[in-house]
Structure 1
Amino acid sequence: MAPHDGKSVMEEFMASETEKRPISTIVIIIAMQTEALPLVNKFQLSEDPNPTFPKGVPWVRYHGIYKDLNINIIWLGNDSVFGVNSVGTVSASLVTYASIQVLKPDLIINAGTAGGFKAKGACIGDVFLASDIAFHDRRIPIPVFDLYGVGLQQAFSTPNLLKELSLKVGKLSTGDSLDMSPEDEASIIANDATIKDMEGAAIAYVVDLLEVPAIFIKAVTDIVDGDKPTVVEFRQNLAAVTAELDQAVTQVVDFINGKSLSEL
């Protein structure tokens, strides 16, 4: 039998078997400490003082056993020069790659806050499961390069999870700026995005390369096309919306426990 999409028969068999066995190891990637710590406490995780990441990186691993799951929360850490959370696509892609190499997860969850668009039905405190993920600030107006710049990916399909939990579904657009330039806005509209963040598409790119399933859970802190400045609204709502995110991620993890990828 000929290989399918470059995979051998044995590789396809192993992939099929992986989808059937219960999920064991989860990696949850979170950009901000404020978003990470409530979940660390919820799952009673411990900080790993000697994570096997490259020397000098600021990333922090919290780990432990919750029910039947080996859970790892990877916070991007504080930048060693500026002391702020290492948000953005560069840190997110590096952390994702290293975490897959070191921890060999069955599933990756990218959890965090995001901006939402009222024109697409988003409200403060809404929690979305992203269906599609793309970049909005990699504009390369050359045929084919333009598609590469957008980098459209689909999240891992979880129809049973969606049926069970009251999460909204929307497309996620990613860029390295908190604000939105007119050029970004045009790209976000072209992406048909409901939510906007600074890490998702970078993580989606890496998991696609390494063939690890991933889901993206985003809670809305600010309305990008609203009347209030993004920075003001983000700061006002961060604590309350993080609590909504915490609850949603806990529900997702509880649902995942004891199930295989094919049952999600």
Structure 2
Amino acid sequence: MAAAAAQSGEAQPNRPISNILIVIAMQTEAQPVVNKFELIEDPHSPFPQGVPWVRYHGKYKDLNINLIWPGKDPSSGVDSVGTISSALVTYAAIQALQPDLIINAGTAGGFKARGASVGDIFIASDCAFHDRRIPIPVFDLYGVGSRKAFETPNLVKELDLKVAKLSTGDSLDMTEQDESSITANDATVKDMEGAAVAYVADLLKVPAIFVKAVTDIIDGDKPTAEEFLQNLAAVTAALDLAVEKVINFINGKSISEL
């Protein structure tokens, strides 16, 4: 696990964190963070020619911040959301930028029955998939792909953030099978990127934390897409503030102090 690797010394847990990688899926979510930290777009991207991935970077206090946004899909022109883009861009960014810590920040759906409300900010304790159904022994566990996020007890306590499990799938809506899998994952929040970022972070042994802001109530009475769009701007502002607080807490601390 990435958390275990970091705590065992591979990520130099006692050295102050200096290089942070923020992975955000949508431009609407990314732009306030870019503005807040006065990040600038890299005109000479470290990524392969032709990919739409965008790197913003800058210095904030003692931290080098890289924010990676997967960009607009070349064919459709919409944000490159979902697990494939987020996994690819996370892998490429780790290779190119060698971060000490990854922050996957973004919006998510939440379950009212499990204590989520619109505007809530959650730190994910665990990430898993709910739409990779492989009903063969052991392959079923691979499909779920459950992974622990890096534990940040001091950060959670200091910022008074909610902690919950996160379930990831490539659809905004939810089928009955998805709902059963999300319930089995014991997840309070649902997104389209987190578990993919967790998979890559685990492979490459980089500690990763997940900051998710609830835009819509999945078990509420409003259509998901309608509620998501209605609340996106306000919740993105709340996410921006949460990311700022997380970054300020991280500044000057080592991995082991989080």
TM-score w.r.t. structure 2 length? Answer: 0.96
Q: Which residue of 1 aligns with 2:111?
A: 117
Q: Which residue of 2 aligns with 1:261?
A: 255
Q: Which residue of 1 aligns with 2:233?
A: 239
The residue type paired with residue 15 of structure 1 is E
Is residue 220 from structure 1 mapped to residue 214 from structure 2 by the alignment?
yes
The offset of 1:12, in angstroms, is: 9.4
Q: Which residue of 1 aligns with 2:74?
A: 80
Structure 1 Cα separation of the partners of residues 78 and 18 of structure 2? 32
The offset of 1:167, in angstroms, is: 1.1
Give the direction of change, closer, same or farther, for the CA distance of 1:142–1:42 in structure 2 (3 Å limit): same
Structure 1 Cα separation of the partners of residues 154 and 239 of structure 2? 20
For residue 49 of structure 2, give the secondary structure of its aligned residue in structure 1.
Answer: coil
Q: Which residue of 2 aligns with 1:248?
A: 242
1:206 corresponds, among 200, 210, 221, to 200
Give the direction of change, closer, same or farther, for the CA distance of 1:12–1:24 in structure 2 (3 Å limit): closer
- Percent identity between matched residues is 73
Structure 2 Cα separation of the partners of residues 52 and 98 of structure 1? 9
Give the direction of change, closer, same or farther, for the CA distance of 1:14–1:228 in structure 2 (3 Å limit): closer
Q: Which residue of 1 aligns with 2:51?
A: 57
Q: Which residue of 2 aligns with 1:145?
A: 139
Structure 1 Cα separation of the partners of residues 118 and 7 of structure 2? 42
Structure 1 Cα separation of the partners of residues 7 and 153 of structure 2? 22
Is residue 15 from structure 1 mapped to residue 10 from structure 2 by the alignment?
yes
Give the direction of change, closer, same or farther, for the CA distance of 1:55–1:222 in structure 2 (3 Å limit): same
For residue 81 of structure 1, give the secondary structure of its aligned residue in structure 2.
Answer: coil
1:94 corresponds, among 88, 95, 104, to 88
For residue 19 of structure 1, give the secondary structure of its aligned residue in structure 2.
Answer: coil
Structure 1 Cα separation of the partners of residues 224 and 151 of structure 2? 31
Q: Which has the higher contact order (CA 8 A, sep 6+)?
A: 2
The offset of 1:50, in angstroms, is: 1.0
1:120-172 CA-partner distances (Å, limit 9, x unpaired): 00000000000000000000000000000000000001011011002111100
For residue 75 of structure 2, give the secondary structure of its aligned residue in structure 1.
Answer: coil
Structure 1 Cα separation of the partners of residues 73 and 155 of structure 2? 35
The residue type paired with residue 31 of structure 1 is A
The residue type paired with residue 256 of structure 1 is I
The offset of 1:76, in angstroms, is: 1.1
Structure 2 Cα separation of the partners of residues 112 and 62 of structure 1? 16
TM-score w.r.t. structure 1 length? Answer: 0.94
* Runs of 4+ displaced beyond 4 Å: 11-14
For residue 122 of structure 1, give the secondary structure of its aligned residue in structure 2.
Answer: coil
Structure 1 Cα separation of the partners of residues 251 and 7 of structure 2? 25
**Structure 1 unaligned regions, length at least 5:** 1-6
Question: Matched residue pairs, number?
Answer: 254
Is residue 193 from structure 1 mapped to residue 162 from structure 2 by the alignment?
no
Structure 1 Cα separation of the partners of residues 123 and 48 of structure 2? 31
Is residue 175 from structure 1 mapped to residue 161 from structure 2 by the alignment?
no
